[in-house]
Amino acid sequence: MKKRLLAMLLCAAMVLSMAACSSGGAESDKEEKTEGSGGKKEITVLRLGDITKAEPIFAPIMDSYTKNNPDTTVNFEAMAWDEAKTKLKLLGAQSELPEVMFINIINGWDLASSGYLSDLSDLFKGDDSLSADIPQSIIDVATTEDGKMYWIPSATGAFGVWYNKEYFKQAGLDPNSPPKTVEEMISMAKTITEKTGVPGLGWGITATEDFANITESFYSSYTGVDIWSDADKKFTFEDNKEYRKLFAEVLEEFAKITNDYGITQANSIEQNPFGIRTLFRDGEVAMYLDGVWAVKELKEELDKGEGSKFNTGLFPAGPAGSHPILGCDGWAIPEECKDKDEAWKMVQHLMSSENQTRHASEWGLLPILESEKGIDEFSGEYWNALVEQLDTVSARPKDKNVAMIEQAIADGAQAAATRKMTPDEAIDFMIETVHSNYVE
Amino acid sequence: MNLKRKRKALPYIFLVPAIVIIIMIFAIPLFNLLWYSFAKVDLIGNFNSWAGFNNYKYLVTETFTKTLGRTMIWVVCGIAGIFLVGTILALALNKPIPGRGFFRTVVIIPWVIPHVFAGTMWSWVLNSTNGIVNTLLLDLGLIKEPISFLGAELALATVIFIRIWKGVPFLVMSLLSALQTIPAEVEEAAKLDGALGWKYFWHITLPLLRPVMVMSGTILMAWSFTIFDLVYVITGGGPLNATELLSITIYKKAFINGDMGGASAIAIFTMLFVSVIAFFLMKRNSKEAD
């Protein structure tokens, strides 16, 4: 009996000492992180994406920061996109998020709604040069309806029309006049298909985030509003008959493009919208919708300048104008950050014209700062429409359920495009799916 | 008496390490899963509130019934195909044909290719616009329009075909091992009795292979229910949910909808469903063996 009691006491002591060790370790880690070694400050900067891609781009940026701030040690890290969803939230729950981190939309609204991100709107407004350097349209996309800004936009891109000038010439169309409206895009695609035999429009409708983004862009271009209201936490077409009617028109147009006009490549249902990029590069389609992300992959041809067969145009306008959604990721600071001044200083450094240009040009992003526009890195003809597009962009759902909402949009739009559902059924499907899966 | 009791207890003592390990790696996660299935839990396991049977309500919806039906088609057709092709290949590779070692090695290749890579490879090969299969068929004039292998009509059949391709090596290896244990005397005796060809296969080979077949079939069934990456990489569960299996629904619930409770409820159902089928299969086999 005595032996058993002794064994139990020893076990309890061991468990307690282990628990004490582990919690003590965490505390000391935190302290060390703020103070750094030798009394130096220490901050960590995290970029989502591949470390082999991020490291060479950010190493000089981090070096210049430490050169100007010798009392601060900077650790630069990268995290794979697919790891981020669970890892960032876990780090947030443990108050272990890095001092400065690059946030994308899918993770950003989730972290913000959990209270893990600082509202940077006051700091941003307080920096006159930075706030004046970012176009209002981008600020709007990154700001909630109640005026909160959880990340400073740094990586953006909006859809536009990419077209092959040679096919335009062969079809008797002006290679310097890409389609301006949806009707023009369809009409030009018909002409090209008839005259050249090459599908006039590359069209992909797999039910992915990319197709949801295309659908959202059409919706905003037809209605003039974002597809999701973050204040009401529902679709903007749910209570508005006019928007619903216009959305039904969008979906009907999708069905006609997919089935009736005969202007697309075969089997659109198998193609992701961005998957068309390869077909476009190889001359198998004459036009398609894509964003700045295509620049890196088509660069060889684009850099031929005047002789390049590719060019870009604004996203085809609907009745309300040209309003493609803006992919808008950026730099955030956690709510629990111990030294927000230092973190904000780093964000300002990252957002300086020189560093932002390095980030944008080498990663394949748009030059969002006014001070970047027209510089050598972004001087090709194809940049004009991509940059101009930034003035009229709309927003993806600003909601922590954005992935689920966009999946519902993509599924419904695909069903309408393939005529498995009528536009009205597809709209009801989107509403019902989101209502039944929405997590508060 | 004491010695007798000790002897009886000995096997249980030997089982203790295994039981401890099973509890650590199986029972604790299972308990966690069960707990999640009755709660509102976020993606990183934060408990928000109890949900009662709310997470299980999805199991009686039409969407889920369709997914379950689709999964059954995937499992049954996949296993039937694996057995048909695998048995033929195993019988062929058991014969003393020239280059048998080489062919046996080639047959294993699909098994060792990771699911994600295999899925990506097949989606390129079968792509309707620039996939090699369609290009070849068009060049040979066998088709006029590219076949949409991954379109709504053919996607499920296509992923079942790929499942068969991926699963055959496991069965071939299992059956080859079993075939090699059939004594030569049995074959000679059967031949003397006039049991040749189909008769020999049906009355001699098949009964002797049955235990291995049942065990392999049970394993293949459990795998088929849980395969996720192979299908997700190829179709993402689409188009129009044509290839959405239980495993993909679980993933979508957890990682797209952020509903760990709902995902856990489906996972619990799947586990029970597979366990019940496996139990009856094994029970029937042991009865027949007796």
ipTM: 0.76
pLDDT tens digit sequence for A115-127 = 999 999 999 999 9
pLDDT in tens, B219-235: 999 999 999 999 999 99
| Residue A37 pLDDT > 70 | no
* Least confident segment among A222-226, B75-79, B122-126: B122-126
Q: What is the mean pLDDT of residues A62-79?
A: 93
Across chain A, mean pLDDT equals 88
Tens-place pLDDT, residues A291-315: 888 888 898 898 888 889 999 999 9
Q: Please give the tally of structural domains in chain B.
A: 1
The DSSP 8-state label assigned to residue A174 in this structure reads -
Q: Do B42 and A207 touch (CB under 8 A)?
A: no
Would the pLDDT of A163 be above 60? yes
B129–chain A Cβ distance below 8 A for any pair: yes
Which CATH topology does A158-325+397-437 take?
D-Maltodextrin-Binding Protein; domain 2 (3.40.190)
Whether residues A270 and B257 touch (CB distance < 8 A) is answered with no
Q: What is the CATH number of the domain that holds B144?
A: 1.10.3720.10
Q: According to the model, what pLDDT value does residue A18 have?
A: 39
B153 touches chain A (CB under 8 A): no
Q: Report if residue B33 sits inside a domain.
A: no
Instruction: With a cut of 90, say whether residue A271 has pLDDT above it.
Output: no
- Residue B239 in any domain: the answer is yes
Mean pLDDT of A35-44: 72
Q: Hey, are the CB atoms on A270 and B256 less than 8 Å from each other?
A: no
Confidence of residue A16 (pLDDT cuts 50, 70, 90): very low
Tokens representing A294? 């295509």
CB A14 within 8 A of CB A6: no
- Per the CB < 8 A criterion, the answer to whether A331 and A154 are in contact is yes
Cβ of A401 and B44 within 8 Å? Answer: no
Q: How does residue B1 score in pLDDT terms, banded at 50, 70 and 90?
A: low
* Contact list, A91 vs chain B (CB under 8 Å): none
- Chain B CB within 8 Å of residue A93 CB: yes
pLDDT at res. A23: 40
pLDDT of residue B290: 66
Q: Is residue B187 part of a domain?
A: yes
Q: Residue B289: what pLDDT? A: 66
Q: What percent of chain A has pLDDT over 90?
A: 63
- Residues B197-202, mean pLDDT to the nearest whole number: 85
pLDDT tens digits along B258-271: 889 999 999 999 99
- A72-79 and A41-48 as β-strands: parallel, antiparallel, unpaired? parallel
A284 contact B CB<8A: yes
- Please list every residue in chain B whose beta carbon sits closer than 8 Å to the beta carbon of residue A284: 129-130
On whether residue B3 sits in a domain, the answer given is: no
CA–CA separation, B181 and B93 (whole Å): 15
**Residue A11 reports pLDDT greater than 50:** no
Are A90 and B146 within 8 A, CB to CB? no
**Which residues of chain A does B49 touch, with a Cβ-Cβ cutoff of 8 Å?**
none
Tell me, yes or no, if A107 comes closer than 8 A to chain B by beta carbon.
no
Partners of B127 on chain A (C-beta within 8 Å) are 270
pLDDT band, very low/low/confident/very high, at A78 (cuts 50, 70, 90):
very high
- Enter the DSSP assignment of A327: E
Whole-number percent of chain B with pLDDT over 70? 99
Cβ distance A279 to A152 under 8 Å? no
Torsional class of A162: left (φ above 0), alpha (ψ -120 to 50), beta (otherwise)? beta
* CB-based contact B238 A403, cutoff 8 Å: no
Q: Establish if B26 belongs to a structural domain.
A: no
A278 φ/ψ angles, rounded to the nearest 5 degrees: -65, -45
Tell me, what's the pLDDT at B190? 84
Owner of token pair 């903007």: A236
Q: Do B257 and A418 touch (CB under 8 A)?
A: no
Q: Which of B125, B257, B266 to mutate to test the interface with A (most CBs of A within 10 A)?
A: B257
Beta carbons of A90 and B44 less than 8 Å apart: yes
CB contact under 8 A, B257 and A265: no
- Tally of residues, chain A: 440
Q: What phi-psi label fits residue A417: left (phi over 0), alpha (psi between -120 and 50 degrees) or beta?
A: alpha
User: For residue A170, with 0-12 CB atoms within 10 Å meaning exposed, 13-18 middle and 19 or more buried, which class applies?
Assistant: middle
The mean pLDDT of A129-145, rounded to a whole number, is 91
> Cβ distance B171 to B83 under 8 Å?
yes
Residue A347 Cα to chain centre, angstroms:
19
Q: What gap in Å lies between CA B39 and CA A11, rounded to an integer?
A: 33
Report pLDDT for A25.
Answer: 41
Q: B13-55, pLDDT tens digit by residue?
A: 999 999 899 888 888 889 999 999 999 887 777 788 888 899 9
| pLDDT reading at A345 higher than 90 | yes
Q: CATH for A39-156+327-391?
A: 3.40.190.10
What are the sequence ranges of the domains in chain A?
39-156+327-391, 158-325+397-437
**Closest partner CB to A85 (pick from B128, B152, B255):** B255
In a domain, B31, yes or no: no
Structure-block tokens of residue A237: 């077409």
- What pLDDT does residue A273 have? 87
Q: Which residues contact B287 (CB under 8 A, 6 or more apart)?
A: none
Contacts of A400 in chain B (CB under 8 A): 258
Q: Which amino acid is at A126?
A: G
Query: What's the first-to-final CA gap in chain B, in angstroms?
Result: 33
Contact A269 B236 (CB under 8 A): no
- Rounded distance, CA A179 to CA A159, Å? 14
pLDDT at A38 over 80: no
b/e per residue, B165-204, with b = 16+ CB within 10 A?
Answer: bbbbbbbbbbbbebbeeeeeeeeeebeeeebeeeebeeeb
pLDDT of residue A378: 82
Beta strands in chain B (DSSP E): 39-41, 47-50
B239 close contact with A: CB closer than 8 A: yes
Interface size between A and B, measured as CB pairs under 8 A: 79
Q: Which residues of B touch A401 (CB under 8 A)?
A: 257-258
**If you measure CA to CA, which chain B residue comes closest to A266?**
B129
Residues 6+ apart with CB under 8 A from A411: A207, A429, A430, A433, B238, B240, B241
Instruction: Write down the pLDDT at residue A303.
Output: 84
Q: What confidence score (pLDDT) does residue B173 get?
A: 94
Helices of type H across B195-259: 197-200, 206-226, 229-235, 246-251
In whole angstroms, what is the distance from residue B63 CA to residue B88 CA? 37
Q: Do B257 and A401 touch (CB under 8 A)?
A: yes
Question: To the nearest whole angstrom, how far is the Cα of B241 from the nearest Cα of chain A?
Answer: 8
* Confidence at residue A83, expressed as pLDDT on a 0 to 100 scale: 84
Average pLDDT over residues A364-374: 85
pLDDT-derived band at A28 (thresholds 50, 70, 90) equals very low
Out of B150, B152, B258, the one facing A418 most closely (by C-beta) is B152
Quickly count: other Cβ atoms within 10 Å of residue B19's Cβ. Answer: 11
Cα–Cα distance between A122 and A113 in angstroms, integer?
18
Residue with more model confidence, B258 or B159: B159
Q: Is the pLDDT of residue A13 over 60?
A: no
Count CA atoms closer than 13 A to B272's CA, side-chain side: 8
Among A86, A270, A407, whose Cβ lies nearest the Cβ of B150?
A: A270
Q: Report the pLDDT value the prediction gives residue B247, as an integer from 0 to 100.
A: 95
Kindly state whether residue B39 falls inside one of the protein's structural domains: no
> 């199986």: which residue's tokens?
B26
Q: Do the Cβ atoms of B159 and B231 come closer than 8 Å?
A: yes
Residue B171 lies in domain:
56-289
Contact A155, A329 (CB under 8 A): yes
Contact at CB, B129 and A401, closer than 8 angstroms: no
Tell me whether residue B45 is in a domain.
Answer: no
Cβ–Cβ gap B129/A267 under 8 Å:
yes
Note whether A112 and A400 are within 8 A (CB): yes
Residue A4: predicted pLDDT: 55
